[in-house]
Structure 1
Amino acid sequence: MNARPVSPNTVLAEDVPAPRVYELNLYRPYFELVAAGRKTTEVRVKYPHLENLAASDHIRFSIKGTDEACLVRVLAVTEYPSFEALMDGEGAGSVNPTSTREQQLANIRAIYGPEKEALGALAIRMELA
C-alpha cells in the first residue's frame, strides 16, 4: 500500500478527539421540542460537569424513568452571567418557541434557584444529530 504525503497543515482523523457524549435529562415538554428540532438552544447552569462542553460534543437527552432519548450535536456553548442576559443574547424563540420570554424566565427560575443562577448560565446551541 502506498502512503500519500501529508502536508504539515493537514489534520488527520486520528488527530481529532472523538466528541464526548453527555447524558442529560429534560422535562417532557422540552424533550418533545428538542426531538422535533424546534428547540435549538438548551439552558443549563454552569455546573462543573458541563465546564468542558464544547462544539462538536453530543448530548443524549432523555426523560427520566423512560427509554426515550434524543441525540443532538452541540454547535456552540456561550456563557452568560444570568438567565436574563442569556435570553437577551440568544432570543427566547430558540429556547422555547411556544412560550414568552417572561414565562420562560419564570420556568427556568423554578428549576434553578438564585444560588444556581449565580454559577453562570450556559446557552447550548444544538442541532439533531
Structure 2
Amino acid sequence: MTESATTRVRELNLYRGYFDLVAAGQKTIEVRVKYPHLEDLAPGDVIRFRIKGTDETCDVRVNRVTEYKTFEELLDGEGPANVNPASSREQQLANIREIYPAEKEALGALAIAIELPQ
C-alpha cells in the first residue's frame, strides 16, 4: 500500500486468528475499546496490524469508525459475520470480553470498518 505524506498510519497488535481473517479479507470490522489514542481515528487512515513479537504485518484502510456503548450493541449493529465469520455471536462476545474486561468496555466500543488495499 502506498501512503501519501498526509496518510496517518496506526500500528495495532492483533492476535494470529484475527490477523489471518483480516489478511484474507474475511474480517471487515475490527473491534476496539475507545481508548484516547484511537479517538481521532478516521476514514482514510491506515492501520498496520502486527502480530506482537513478529515482523508480520497487514495494512488496511479505515472506511468508517462507529462508536457503541457496549460490545453487544456493536455486534448487533455491525453483524457478527463481519467481525468474525468463523465464530457465533455468543462466542465472539465471550472472546471480546476476555480481551477487554468490563471496566474497558465501559469506555465505549469502536467498530472500525476496514478494507484491504486495492
**Fold shared per TM-score above 0.5:** yes
Q: For residues 48 and 41 of structure 2, what CA distance do their matches in structure 1 show?
A: 13
Give 2:47's aligned residue. 59
Q: Letter of the 1:72 partner, please give it.
A: V
1:79 aligns to 2:67 (yes or no): yes
Gaps of 5+ in 2: none
Give 1:103's aligned residue. 91
Report SS of the residue matched to 1:37.
Answer: coil
Q: Percent identity?
A: 72
Query: What stretches of structure 1 move > 6 A for 4+ residues in a row?
Result: none
Report SS of the residue matched to 2:55.
Answer: coil
Q: Letter of the 1:66 partner, please give it.
A: T
Q: Letter of the 1:62 partner, please give it.
A: R
Give 1:7's aligned residue. none
Relative to the length of structure 1, the TM-score reads 0.86
1:25 aligns to 2:26 (yes or no): no
> What's the CA shift string for 1:43-64, capped at 9, x where partnerless?
0000000000000000000100
Q: For residues 62 and 6 of structure 2, what CA distance do their matches in structure 1 show?
A: 13
Say how many residue pairs are matched: 114
Q: For residues 82 and 57 of structure 1, what CA distance do their matches in structure 2 show?
A: 24
Q: For residues 54 and 78 of structure 1, what CA distance do their matches in structure 2 show?
A: 10
Higher-Rg structure is 1
Give the deviation of 1:123 after TM superposition: 0.1
Relative to the length of structure 2, the TM-score reads 0.94
Q: 1:117 aligns with which of 88, 105, 108?
A: 105
Give the deviation of 1:19 after TM superposition: 2.1
